[in-house]
Amino acid sequence: MDRIEKLNFLSIAQVRDIAEKYQTPVFVYFQKVLEDKALAFPNEYGLTVRYAMKANSNVNILRIFDKKGIHIDASSEYEVERAALAGINPENILLTSQQFPVNLPYMINKGVQFNACSLDQLERFGEMFPDNLVSVRINPGLGSGGTNKTNTGGPGSSFGIWHEQFGEVLKIADEHGLKIWRVHTHIGSGSDPEVWKKVAGMSLGIVERFIKAGHDVQILNLGGGYKVARMNYEESTGLQECGEPVRQAFIDFEKRVGRQLKLEIEPGTFLTANAGSLIARVIDVKTTPDYNFIVIDSGMVDITRPSLYGAEHPIVVVPEIDQERRLGEYVVVGNCCESGDLLTPKPGDSETLDTRILCEAQIGDFVVIGGAGSYCSSMNVEGYNSYPGAAEILLDNEGKSHLIKKRQSLEQLMQNEKVVIKNN
């Protein structure tokens, strides 16, 4: 397979210009790519697309999707607040959180929709809002994902209410007069159509049980997790291929049960991953008997996915000045004093070094890391080794760059620290 990656969306001149104007490391997002991302997921009785904002929560990205009519999937009460501050209509926000929100009464009164993810959450919601509508997240017993860390269904996942606790859900709902109107499942990131078909069938079976128990379920939310091809040899999820069996399952459900269910999906990575890149600078080149290392002025502080999941990102070396260069075989590492700060792990194995065929690197060159539009800036570990968070810019539809997040300062990193030990 061809492992030599090429620049996507950015030109060599743009890389150099952006690095000079904004310094490195800097995230670059492409407005046109964000706006042009198609989500033609097959459906029969209506579709609501919710952006999983944990993928990238910059206010400008939230507003771009809001203008396209995409609603919000929030994973914490802080994300709800952030979306509201971005100008998102609270009625278009669905909160699905591992932690029960402290400010839930305020949010509900504003119109935010709540998805109970455990029996305790359902009980607490019922105590606060008896005789009300509620959504429930159910773990259908099956999961999918590239690694166990991206699998959000099955017996090894804590997300949602285990499907065999169905009777307990009904009991709590009856005690508080709750009516379940949406069922939510999410299995993780994967692209196997057979798995999606099977999970859709299992989820529809759960919906049918709720309807037979007297609940007026109107919506089935199948979550997100559509795989995106970051590397040139990968394949993205085919929405038509995965969605058509799901659409047919909804049709069959209507014929059998007499209920036309609306479909909801919650893509995050699919919408943003390949709309962003990170530009860093080569700060050192080192050699051992086994490897050639490129050290950059970024790494796990800004992109944790390789260290966390063994995830691959396309990497391109851009020479600081135009000159002929040979190709070389390199391991790319970050600037943290941490052996796990590795940008080129063996696929799916965050602990094993892998090499890439790259342009011969020299100190001062630039490194462009692609597929960085999702789960990078929003999932960073800023502050480790006291490195501040990177700046972020947006390239608009005319190619003009706009600073949309300032580079963090050391003073900002330390601003919440309180001195109680005095110097001599």
Residues noted as catalytic:
337
d(CA 147, CA 140): 18
What ranges make up the beta strands (E) of 185-290? 219-221, 262-265, 276-287
Examine residue 105 and say whether the peptide bond preceding it is cis (omega within 30 degrees of 0): no
d(CA 34, CA 11): 18
Within 13 Å, how many C-alpha atoms sit on residue 249's CB side? 22
247 vs 216, 319, 324, CA distance in Å? 20, 49, 53
Phi/psi of residue 281, nearest 5 degrees? -120, 145
Nearest residue to 18 (alpha-carbon basis) of 397, 303, 368 = 368
Within 13 Å, how many C-alpha atoms sit on residue 187's CB side? 25
Q: What six digits make up the tokens of 381? A: 């570990």
Q: What six digits make up the tokens of 109? A: 């009164």
Residues paired with 183 in a beta bridge:
136, 220
Helix or strand (DSSP H, E) at 28: strand 26-30
d(CA 4, CA 231): 10
Nearest residue to 368 (alpha-carbon basis) of 304, 319, 422, 418 = 319
372 vs 79, 88, 200, 241, 366, CA distance in Å? 20, 24, 30, 26, 16
Query: What one-letter code names the amino acid at 390?
Result: A
> Residue 359 CB: number of other CB atoms within 10 A?
17
